[in-house]
C-alpha cells in the first residue's frame, strides 16, 4: 500500500498532520475518520528510509534527553521540522547533532518521523518507532512522546538497579579471588623453607595448600585459559537455538537469581505492552514488540505462542494461561482488563506491582548473598591460615619439648 502524508481537522477544528498507509484516498479518509479526524488534503510520498544510516548509535540517556526536549518543543507549539533543527543546533555533542539533523533532512523529503527514526535502529528501538508512528497516525504525537519519556526513564532506572545487583557480588568474588591468589602465590611459598627446616611431618591441610601453591605458580596460565574456554563454550552453546532455550530456562529456575530474572522480564513485557497499546499500536504488533524485550528465550517463546493464539481469535488472557511461564497474577489482571475494556490500565497495575517487587527482590538477594559470601571468604582464608599455623604449632611443641 502507498504511504500518505495528510492534513486533517480534529473535532475542535484544529489542523493535525500525520502519515498513514492506505490503499487509496477513500481508504485514507475512512482511516482518519475512524480516529475522529476529517481529511483535508493528502499526498503520496516515496519512502527513502530503506537505507539504514551509518551514523553511530545514541546512548540511552541521549535518546531520553532528545525525547524530553522534543516533547517540550511540540507542547510549546513549535513545528516538527523547526524543533528538530533547533535540537540539532543545540545538541550536546556532534554525534547527537548529526543523528537529529539526519532525521530532520529525511522528514523534509516527505517521510514520516517514524520512518526517519527507523533509519537509526540502534538508537531508536522498534517500540520507540512504533509509538511514534501511532502518535503520528492519531495526531497525538506529543502525548506519545510523554509515554516514551516515562518508559525510557523507567528503563534507565531498572538498568541501574540491575547493575547494582550484578556489580556487588562480582566485586566480592574478585576481592576473594585476589586475596586467595595473594596468599597462595606470594605468602605460602615464604613459609615452605621454614617447614622443611622444622623436620616435621606436615599435616594434610598444609600439604594440600602447598600443592595448590606449587600448581598455581607453575601453571598459572591455565586459570585464564580455562575461564576463556568455558566462556567460549557458553557463548557457542548459547548461540544455538536449543542451547539458548535450555540455558535461559535454567536461569529462570535458579534460586533468587531466577526469581529476579523472571520479575524483571515480565515487568519489561507488561510495561512495553501497556505503553504500545495505550499509544494506539494494535494488539498483535504490540505483542510482537513486547515479546522482543523479554530478554529470555524461554519466556519469549511462551509469549509468541500466546501471540499466535491471539492471532486466531483467542483471548489474550486465555492465550497466556495456555502458553505457561507467566504468573497467574499477570494472566488474571489481563483477563480483568479484557473484560472491563481497560487493558492498558490493568497492565499498569501489573507494572506498579513489579515496580515494588523488583527492588524488594534485589534487597532480598543482597541480604542473602552478603553473609554467604563473607562466610565463604572467611572459610577459605581461615583454611589457608590454619594450614600455615598447624605445622608452626607442631614446631613450637617440638621446640618446647626439647
Please provide the DSSP assignment of 335-398 as one string.
HHHHHHT-HHHHHHHHHHHHHHHHHHHHHHHHHHHHHHHHHHHHHHHHHHHHHHHHHHHHHHHH
| pLDDT tens-digit series, residues 115-154 | 889 889 889 988 888 888 888 877 788 888 998 898 899 8
pLDDT tier, 22 (very low <50, low <70, confident <90, very high otherwise)? confident
Grid cell of 111 as nine digits? 517521510
DSSP 183: I
For the whole model, what pTM was predicted? 0.69
Query: For residue 1, what pLDDT is reported?
Result: 55
Q: Are the beta carbons of 120 and 102 closer than 8 angstroms? A: yes
| pLDDT tens-digit series, residues 362-379 | 888 777 877 888 888 888
| pLDDT tens-digit series, residues 212-242 | 888 888 888 888 899 899 999 999 988 887 8
| pLDDT tens-digit series, residues 301-319 | 898 888 888 888 888 899 9
Segment 30-50 shows an average pLDDT of 69
CA distance 75 to 218: 69
Q: Are the beta carbons of 320 and 270 closer than 8 angstroms? A: no
Task: Please tell me the number of Cα atoms within 13 Å of 370 on its side-chain side.
Answer: 8
Please provide the DSSP assignment of 64-96 as one string.
HHHHHHHHHHHHTT--HHHHHHHHHHT-SSHHH
Q: Which of 34-38, 49-53, 388-392 has the highest mean pLDDT?
A: 388-392
Residue 125: helix, strand or coil by DSSP? coil
pLDDT tier, 48 (very low <50, low <70, confident <90, very high otherwise)? very low
Predicted confidence (pLDDT) at residue 295 exceeds the cutoff of 80: yes
Grid cell of 27 as nine digits? 481508504
DSSP 57: P
Using CA atoms of 24, 30, 36, 37 in order, give the dihedral in degrees to the nearest 10.
30
Amino acid at each position: 500500500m502507498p504511504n500518505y502524508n495528510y492534513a486533517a481537522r480534529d473535532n475542535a477544528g484544529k489542523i493535525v498532520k500525520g502519515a498513514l498507509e492506505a490503499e487509496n484516498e477513500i481508504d485514507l479518509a475512512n482511516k482518519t475518520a475512524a480516529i475522529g479526524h476529517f481529511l483535508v488534503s493528502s499526498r503520496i510520498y516515496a519512502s527513502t528510509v530503506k537505507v539504514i544510516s551509518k551514523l553511530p548509535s545514541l546512548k540511552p540517556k541521549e535518546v531520553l534527553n532528545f525525547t524530553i526536549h522534543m516533547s517540550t518543543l511540540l507542547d510549546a507549539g513549535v513545528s516538527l521540522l523547526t524543533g528538530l533543527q533547533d535540537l540539532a543546533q543545540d545538541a550536546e555533542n556532534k554525534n547527537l547533532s548529526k543523528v537529529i539533523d539526519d532525521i530532520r533532512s529525511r522528514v523534509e523529503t516527505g517521510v514520516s518521523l517514524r520512518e526517519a527514526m527507523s533509519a537509526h535502529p540502534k538508537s531508536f528501538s522498534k517500540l520507540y518507532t512504533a509509538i511514534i508512528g501511532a502518535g503520528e497516525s492519531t495526531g497525538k504525537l506529543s502525548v506519545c512522546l510523554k509515554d516514551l519519556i516515562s518508559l525510557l526513564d523507567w528503563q534507565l532506572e531498572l538498568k541501574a538497579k540491575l547493575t547494582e545487583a550484578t556489580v556487588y557480588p562480582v566485586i566480592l568474588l574478585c576481592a576473594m579471588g585476589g586475596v586467595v591468589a595473594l596468599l597462595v602465590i606470594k605468602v605460602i611459598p615464604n613459609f615452605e623453607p621454614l617447614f622443611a627446616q622444622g623436620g616435621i611431618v606436615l599435616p594434610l591441610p598444609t600439604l594440600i595448600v602447598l600443592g595448590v601453591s606449587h600448581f598455581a605458580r607453575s601453571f598459572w596460565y591455565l586459570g585464564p585459559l580455562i575461564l576463556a574456554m568455558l566462556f567460549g563454550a557458553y557463548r557457542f552453546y548459547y548461540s544455538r537455538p536449543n542451547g539458548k532455550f535450555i540455558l535461559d530456562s535454567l536461569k529462570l529456575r535458579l534460586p533468587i537469581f531466577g526469581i529476579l530474572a523472571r520479575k524483571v522480564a515480565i515487568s519489561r513485557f507488561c510495561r512495553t505492552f501497556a505503553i504500545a497499546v495505550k499509544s494506539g499500536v494494535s494488539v498483535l504488533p504490540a505483542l510482537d514488540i513486547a515479546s522482543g524485550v523479554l530478554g529470555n528465550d524461554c519466556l519469549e517463546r511462551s509469549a509468541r505462542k500466546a501471540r499466535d493464539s491471539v492471532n486466531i481469535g483467542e483471548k489474550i488472557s486465555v492465550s497466556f494461561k495456555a502458553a505457561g511461564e507467566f504468573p497467574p497474577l499477570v494472566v488474571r489482571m489481563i483477563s480483568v482488563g479484557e473484560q472491563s475494556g481497560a487493558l492498558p490500565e490493568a497492565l499498569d497495575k501489573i507494572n506498579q506491582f513489579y515496580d515494588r517487587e523488583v527492588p524488594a527482590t534485589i534487597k532480598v538477594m543482597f541480604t542473602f548473598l552478603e553473609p554467604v559470601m563473607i562466610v565463604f571468604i572467611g572459610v577459605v582464608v581461615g583454611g589457608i591460615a590454619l594450614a600455615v599455623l598447624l605445622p608452626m604449632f607442631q614446631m613450637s611443641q617440638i621446640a618446647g619439648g626439647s
